[in-house]
Amino acid sequence: MDVIGGELDLHRLDLRYAATRVADPGATRQLTASLERCGQLVPCVTVQDPGGSALVLIDGYRRIAALRRLGRDTVTVECWGCDLASALISLMVRRQDRGFAAIEQALLLRELVVREGLSQRELAARTGRDVSWVNRRLQLLVGLPNSVLAAVRAGELSNWAASRILVPLARANSEHAERLLAVLGRDRLTTRDLKQWFGQYERGSHEVRERMVNNPRLLLRALADRQVERGSAALRDGPEGAVASEIRQIEAAIARLRRRLPALRPVPQALITAMPRVKAALAVLDDTITWSITHDNSRDLFERACAEGAGPYAA
């Protein structure tokens, strides 16, 4: 691959792949400080536009953003002597200090499919991946609302929140996804908060979901209060209360299974196979309880400590 380097005016760059990059304000600030202190050490990568005189920027979008923050007019570039598709693929497979996020990979792959006309099989072969990897990456963009994608690209929403929360939510209820995104723009929630919120949303009724989308923080406060109440109840009831609760859970699970049996015809093999293990476990528990009752010769620890510390009987 032929490489030509040199200085170039910023306005001569074609930034057509800017939409495939995810903003990272923190990284851009660090890069800006480094450029101001040391200058540009790594050139940006460009390719000659086959349809014009401009150079298409392949790699270096954060460096361009940092240079503009510093008021610079020029940039150091190297121009690769290959076509755009080959340059993008080379960029994806090169070892870099900053790997591409999954959503960035998906956006680059979509560019190669839509704009450059490459098939998924060809992309897999040229990137050293299998077809299923290419397909999984492209599936990240299926059903992703433009507003959510814009929030991810702007660094306002994490890739995890987009793929694990907003995408499934948008596929089920696009209006709720848009409303939740608007709320997240005003009130940032942690990954743990979002995971907890979505778990409750999946189990909630339509009426409850409406309230949850409008005020996620209210639900999280309610869950935190419930956790405190459970902790207080556990402290109040002690281990006896915990045992009673577990027994009730076992009884409730058995009752649920009995209610489901009429609809299970034939009876699932998994249930038939599990019954001997369940009976054996219950038998072991019964034997353990019986042994504990017959061998319980312990005394109250407080009373024993008082008796042992009283000393010899004084006549």
pLDDT in tens, 190-238: 888 888 889 888 988 888 888 888 888 888 888 777 777 767 766 777 7
What span, in angstroms and rounded, lies between the C-alpha atoms of 128 and 82?
A: 19
Question: What is the per-residue pLDDT across 52-109, written as a single tens digit (0 to 9) for each?
Answer: 778 999 999 999 999 999 999 999 999 998 999 999 998 888 754 456 778 888 899 9
With cut-offs at 50, 70 and 90, classify the pLDDT of residue 121. Answer: very high
Q: 183 versus 144: which is more confidently predicted?
A: 183
143 DSSP 8-state letter: T
The predicted-structure confidence for 147-190, as pLDDT tens digits, reads as follows 888 888 887 888 788 878 888 888 888 889 888 888 888 877 88
Please provide residue 72's backbone torsions phi and psi, each rounded to the nearest 5 degrees.
-80, 150
pLDDT confidence of 315, banded at 50, 70, 90?
Answer: very low
Confidence at residue 97, expressed as pLDDT on a 0 to 100 scale: 43
Dihedral sign for Cα atoms in the order 300, 301, 306, 307? positive
Asked if residues 70 and 10 have their Cβ atoms less than 8 Å apart, the reply is no
Q: Which of 80, 63, 50 is nearest to 10 (CA)?
A: 63
Residue 99: what pLDDT?
A: 61
Percent of the chain at pLDDT > 90 equals 26
Closest by CA to 77, choosing from 98, 53, 56, 94, is: 56
Topology of 3-82 in CATH?
3.90.1530
* Residues in Cβ contact with 283 at an 8 Å cutoff, skipping those fewer than 6 apart: none
Residue whose C-alpha is closest to residue 88's, from 119, 103, 102, 109:
109
Domain residue extents for the chain: 3-82, 149-214, 224-271
Q: pTM higher than 0.85, yes or no?
A: no
